[in-house]
Amino acid sequence: MDCKGKMHNKTVIITGGGKGIGFGVATAFAKEGANLVLTGRTPSTLEKAKDSLEKDYGIKVLTVVADGGDEASAQLVAEKAMEAFGRIDTLVNNAQNSKSGVLLVDHTKEDFDQAIYSGLYATFFYMKACYPYLKESKGSVVNFASGAGIVGKVGQSSYAAAKEGIRGLSRVAAAEWGPDGVRVNIVAPLAMTKSLEQWREAYPALYEKTISDIPLGRFGDPETDIGRVCVFLASEDAAYITGETISLQGGSGRRP
């Protein structure tokens, strides 16, 4: 299928784009005709995603094995994207690792570093690496935060700290980069993925409390809920939106 949607021939970098929410976001962009640069740490996962997206949507996908917590890796991804496609229109910072379920007092420095480097530092490094090219294309950045930081989730201290750091970084970038025509927005997703299914099995009580606080009574879908919002924020439809946090937690407050 050859797609000529609202992102036709534009280039989108998605960190952690080979699986979970990242793959759902990649699918949403692919359906709108974007060429993709997918990063991750597992080559086989990236190649499987590449084959599927290119076959189903007639787009081009570049995969780059990279650790976002390493500044040189982020710079390499930006350079390879420019070599392959000649432009970068959107950066989606999705990848994140953390020790979920570990109470704050039980966190080690290594646990905390894992979340900060894979999330906050990675977002910082990718934004710096892509900025010159986003300035040329008048492009956009979509960074991922989380309700874990916005409302405070038990057992999510390092993850929440990284995500709230990303929100602060994004708001400053929106102010600094706005005059250059580069928009920066934040999405706080809550979607059903394999990782979330594992979390549900490991922490059933916390899962039940979380789902009971969602008015719609369900988690989002990585493509149709999370991905479509990312496409909107990257498109001309959202040309007036920057520095905003879009919370996709199914609404606020407790379900009746």
- Buried b / exposed e over 127-155, threshold 16 CB at 10 Å, is bebbbebbeebebbbbbbbbbbbbeebeb
Q: How far apart are CA 167 and CA 245, in angstroms?
A: 8
Cβ contacts of residue 55 below 8 Å, gap of 6+? none
Look at residues 30, 38, 40 and name the one whose alpha carbon lies nearest to residue 68. Answer: 40
How many other C-beta atoms can be found within 10 angstroms of the C-beta atom of residue 250?
19
Cβ contacts of residue 205 below 8 Å, gap of 6+? none
Three-state secondary structure string covering 113-165: HHHHHHHHHHHHHHHHHHHHHHHHHCCEEEEECCHHHHHHCCCEHHHHHHHHH
Q: How far apart are CA 225 and CA 213, in angstroms?
A: 18
CB contact at 8 A, 138 and 239: no
- Residues tagged active-site: 159
| Residue 239 CB burial class (10 angstroms; 0-12, 13-18, ≥19) | exposed
